[in-house]
């Protein structure tokens, strides 16, 4: 099994990083590791796995994020992930929403490191894939460095070698998921300390990285970084990633070239019955910060949702933006 290059990744983001988003992002960066939205073990095992887990082969390298806590269900879900050809299975121990908490998965599991370790061990026994954990630096009043180090140590004993750490604590009561992404202060230094104390583990830093300069600076002292909302809201950020971090000599594609490359995928999905808006909603930020961006967003917002809208809407929207972009 070839090791995954974890220097740069795009975070799993609910309602955002679906298969259409990931295909689009792959056109910007060939090497960035992509993650699915979180899929619960219940949905994987008792839902429609083809609808939930299908993806285009171009999306590789690609990781499936799971939500769950029952070792047997996690193991069975990991087997499904392996059958679908995913490159990694990631366990969500970071989401603070009420729905996640009531299902006994997400950030609330930071209080149960033994449960997480058992889940990791079960998945490792079931599949020959990397099993990773995405977590916070703490929850509620359980936010000391000692508690975090104890959590990481116990989960590592279950066989987890890769921890993706969102450098904010989570308040499980009193803050919404959105507020939990913004209000608790970022503490990157905690993640760097983890790497110093666990040098044999792979530690990935997540949280608050919005420019290439920040990404480059923040990657010093850890094994990689994960970009969240910035990769979605300003996706062209990824166009320079391959040259800057992976040694690619190919020039980055222009924004127009990205959309031209996206069109065959869009047309194929339209033939399968996918609504145009399901795809165009992910490209609204492509021209962010340059002339024509507002016209691009407006045209897509006004036309992509209309009944029967096809790829010509995307082509017409592209004509709203100067070619030099």
Active site residues: 95
Which helix (H) or strand (E) element contains residue 165?
strand 162-166
Q: How far is CA 187 from CA 92, 100, 167, 316, in A?
A: 20, 24, 5, 44
Distance CA 224, CA 246 (A): 12
Query: DSSP letter string over 235-261?
Result: GGGGGGHHHHHH---SPPPPHHHHHHH
* Cis amide leading into 321 (omega within 30): no
Q: How far is CA 89 from CA 86, 139, 166, 200, 207, in A?
A: 7, 23, 17, 20, 20
Distance CA 172, CA 165 (A): 17
Q: What one-character DSSP code corresponds to residue 3?
A: P
Distance CA 60, CA 29 (A): 11
- Cβ proximity of 309 and 277 under 8 Å: yes
211, exposed or middle or buried, with CB in 10 Å at 0-12, 13-18, 19+? Answer: exposed
């Amino acid at each position: 099994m070839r090791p995954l290059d974890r220097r740069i990744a795009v975070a799993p983001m609910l309602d955002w990083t679906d298969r259409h988003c990931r295909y689009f992002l792959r056109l910007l960066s060939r090497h960035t590791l992509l993650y699915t939205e979180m899929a619960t073990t219940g949905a994987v095992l008792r839902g429609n796995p083809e609808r939930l887990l299908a993806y285009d082969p171009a999306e590789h390298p690609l990781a499936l994020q799971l939500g769950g806590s029952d070792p047997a269900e996690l193991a069975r879900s990991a087997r499904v992930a392996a059958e679908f050809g995913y490159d990694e299975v990631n366990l969500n121990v970071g989401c603070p929403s009420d729905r996640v908490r009531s299902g006994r998965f997400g950030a609330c599991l930071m209080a149960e490191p033994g449960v997480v370790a058992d889940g990791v061990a079960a998945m490792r026994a079931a599949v020959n894939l990397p099993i990773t954990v995405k977590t916070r630096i703490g929850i509620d009043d359980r936010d000391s460095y000692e508690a975090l180090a104890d959590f990481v140590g116990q989960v590592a004993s279950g066989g987890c070698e890769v921890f993706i750490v969102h450098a904010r604590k989570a308040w499980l009561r009193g803050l919404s998921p959105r507020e939990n992404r913004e209000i608790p202060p970022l503490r990157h230094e905690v993640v760097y300390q983890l790497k110093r104390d666990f040098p044999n583990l792979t530690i990935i830093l997540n949280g608050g990285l919005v420019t290439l300069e920040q990404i480059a600076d923040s990657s010093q002292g850890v094994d990689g970084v994960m970009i969240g909302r910035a990769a979605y809201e300003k996706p062209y950020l990824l166009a320079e990633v391959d040259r800057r971090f992976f040694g690619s000599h190919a020039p980055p594609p222009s924004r127009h070239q990205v959309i031209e490359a996206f069109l065959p995928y869009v047309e194929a999905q339209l033939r399968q019955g996918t609504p145009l808006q399901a795809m165009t909603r992910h490209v609204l930020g492509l021209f962010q910060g340059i002339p024509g961006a507002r016209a691009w967003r407006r045209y897509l917002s006004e036309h992509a949702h209309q009944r029967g809208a096809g790829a010509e809407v995307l082509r017409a929207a592209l004509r709203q933006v100067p070619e030099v972009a």
